[in-house]
Structure 1
Amino acid sequence: MLVKFHGLQFDLPAQWADVTDDLPEGSPPTLARPSGVGAIQFTTAVYRAGLKPDVTNQDLRNLVVDFCNRLSFRPGEFEERTDRLISAGCVVAGTDDLTAVWYVSNGRDIALITYSGTGWGEPSKFELCQARQIVATVEFDVG
């Protein structure tokens, strides 16, 4: 189902719902499945004025590495795309949890999308697959 969510538009698989209001104030927009083991969070930086940015895949890769370094994560193999939007991301190697991070851009706006799931079992892997589907369909809806 195509949804508009906090300045983004994407195809949302069944059973995912907005749980942002259930989280502490100031939490980023968040989706989760009622019976799930993880959550997807979104943070956007939207170009408003000034010198127009020209975001590249290398910029996004650098952001992924910086994100991982700040949290002392070891980034896994990069996942990139360069079609209607550009993106760079990876699954983070951790011991107990499954975490993935993606940066997506249309060349001027940027979205940080993260998935965090409990454990490396099938439920987390299933949700990671759905998170990848969401990232693959993201469009900026900034009007």
Structure 2
Amino acid sequence: MLEILIAFDGSDPAMRALRYAIGLAKEHSNTRLHIVFVHEAQIFIGSATADGTDTSLGNAFRENIDALLRPAMEVAQAAGVAFTSGALIGETAKCITRRAEELKCSSIVMGTRGMTAFGNLILGSVATQVVHLATVPVTLVK
């Protein structure tokens, strides 16, 4: 089975990347797409339960992730392609490339906002980082 990871953040470029990957899946039977959102880890201060977790934050996080991934899941489902979806917490580029390795993906597809070289130099780019860290081909969709 051909496994393709799609990095999805809810943006227009990410949706274009998903549609591109769906096209690939339709061209090649026996393909599964893995739609992944990565949330950069942050420190929260608030009330905690006895086991140290804050259920209100956890529930809010899950609800936000579900809302963010829902449009992608609806598009993939309507297209009739096999897919999974999920969220990770951590450094975005590292999480994307690590997950692609774990799933034995043959490629990564992601959107890019098309920053200038200067913008990438100053701000960095998740897409640039993924290209450098990935052990599989990366397709950037603008």
Query: TM-score interval w.r.t. the shorter chain?
Result: under 0.3
Higher RCO (CA-CA < 8 Å; seq separation 6+): 2
TM-score (normalizing by structure 1): 0.28
Larger radius of gyration: 2
TM-score (normalizing by structure 2): 0.28
Pick the structure with more helix per residue: 2
